[in-house]
Chain A
Amino acid sequence: MKRCLPGLCIAWVSALSLSAIPATTLADDAQNKRFGKIKGTGGVSAISGAGGGGLTPWATLGSYAEDGQLGGTVFVTQARVDDYQLDVYGGAFTWHNKVEVSYARQDFLIEAAGVHIRQDKVGLRYRLAGDIIYQRLPQITIGVEHGELRDTAVALAVGAEDTRGTDYTLSMAKAWLNGIAHRTTLLNVNLRYSNANQFGILGYGGDDADTKVNLELAGAIFINRSIAVGIEWRQKPDNLSALTEHHAKDLFLAYFPSKRLSLTAAWVDLGDIAGAPDQRGVYFSLQANL
């Protein structure tokens, strides 16, 4: 408004006189008129701190920063499954919708023992090519994700080779504005090179090393401009002979009341973790955009 010159403003606003538009509604989206990407396209915060879904990062970089802009996100997440609880907080900065740097502190609680396993995750991602909406080719993002355990005893006890490790990701995402049921529809595919045990919570590597290249899939549909529902599936390696590790999956609902805030609720199934079978439960995440 402050850039709207009085005379021009009248000219533009007087178009109003032809149709009765309630002027009060105009203030409602004032906060949305700040950022460069379309609402929802910044995604939410993954448990690694990177932009994406929840269990997996997506090729979309976090925040609403477009070319020539800076953006940031902060988030808190809690997942509660049968025998464990995972608390995560962190954030990410994005430059020009090109480079994303992320951090997350994960705190995994073994409820029966009252034992906490904390892990720091730092990530760096780069958008190589494409635009999620407007180009025929998918948006392609490469990334590194380094994890380092602060509490190493459990990982070493179960036979992990290392208490720190680095994952490499290649992500491809494509959104169709007019997708399934004329709703905006997104598909994301990641290839992850990793030797992490349970996201690194149980360390990295082991005596029964499994394939290091893993597939991650996610799909989402925007029911309207503010609500997206979707699924994620994350293949995980199974490196420890003493313990079985399963793939993880979730069903989520993300709510974007504005470009400032997003709320995600999900049902998660993490499979067996450290001998405790069928770990299923709920996942909640709150993200603010800076």
Chain B
Amino acid sequence: MSNNNLMTAKRLLTILALSTTLTLSACATQQDSNQDDSLYQALGAEQGITQIADHFIMEIAYDPRVFDRFADSNVARFREKIIQHFCFIADGPCEYTGDSMVLTHRGMDINAAEFNAVVEDLIDAMDKAGTPISAQNRLLDRLAGLRPEIMGI
């Protein structure tokens, strides 16, 4: 009984946190850009990247290979920062305000299997968000460059 209440409360808090996040991230994207944002557009701009992030969170939540690694994460913050990060990496009109990859992953000693698992979760998320394969590969290629800052540290 009390457990149910706790869960309901947690869910409500999360929705509240996510609504706030949405408002905040909307503000964060008010920036002009004159660089080539073709990847950002190919990913579906803000709406597409948001969908990718939401699917990504779901894929991780259902992935027994890596869920433990995210169990202590603040979902709302993770969602906000990952949207910013993807947007930033895709040369979209965003600034990434989160921690560096090294700071985020230091001490976790993430192995190759776990790294690949998250890559696959992202691929599945992009498939579900309807991201074209070409845009997926362009994003993955840029993210792959971050591997040394994420793995085995």
- A residues in contact (CB < 8 Å) with B: 1-19, 21, 25-26, 29, 32-39, 66-69, 97, 131, 133-134, 176-179, 181-184, 224-225
**B141-A9 in contact (CB<8A):** no
Select the residue from A8, A35, A37 with max chain B CB neighbours within 10 A: A8
* Chain A interface, DSSP helix/strand/loop, else mixed: loop
**A178 — nearest CB in chain B belongs to which residue?**
B141
Q: How far is the CA of A133 from the CA of B59 in the complex (A)?
A: 22
Known: A15-B57, A18-B54, A66-B111. A33 touches B128 (CB 8 A): no
Rounded to whole Å, the gap between the CB of A137 and the closest CB of chain B is: 13
Check B113 against A10 for contact (C-beta < 8 Å). no
Interface of B is mostly: helix
Bound Cα distance A9, B61 (Å): 7
In the complex, what residues of B have CB within 8 A of residue A2's CB?
64
B65 at the interface (CB under 8 A from A): yes
Closest residue on chain A to residue B7 by CB atoms: A10
Q: Give Cα distance in the complex from A169 to B116, angstroms.
A: 28
Which residues on B sit within 8 Å (CB–CB) of A21? 54-55, 58, 128
Q: A3-B64, A12-B75, A225-B123 are in contact. Are A18 and B22 (CB under 8 A)?
A: yes
CB-CB nearest in chain A for B139: A178
**Interface 1/0 per residue, B112-127 and A, CB below 8 Å:** 1100110110011001
Chain A residues with CB under 8 Å of B81's CB are none
| Contact of A97 with B140 in the complex, beta carbons under 8 Å | no
Q: Is the CB of B144 within 8 A of A36?
A: no
Q: Which of chain A's residues have a CB closer than 8 A to the CB of B61? A: 4, 9, 12-13
| Those 6 A-B pairs whose CB atoms lie nearest each other, nearest first | A36-B113, A182-B134, A178-B141, A12-B61, A66-B113, A178-B137
Any A CB within 8 A of the CB of B88 = no
- Chain B residues within 8 Å of A14, by CB: 11, 14-15, 18, 75
Instruction: Given A9-B61, A68-B111, A69-B113, decide whether A177 and B68 contact each other with a Cβ distance below 8 A.
Output: no
CB closest chain-B residue, reference A28: B124
Q: Are B11 and A38 in contact (CB under 8 A)?
A: no
Interchain CB contact under 8 A, B119 and A38: yes
Q: Which residues of B contact A12 (CB under 8 A)?
A: 57-58, 60-61, 70, 75
- Cross-interface CB contact of A7 among B7, B15, B67, cutoff 8 Å: B7
Q: What is the chain B residue whose CB lies nearest that of A131?
A: B112
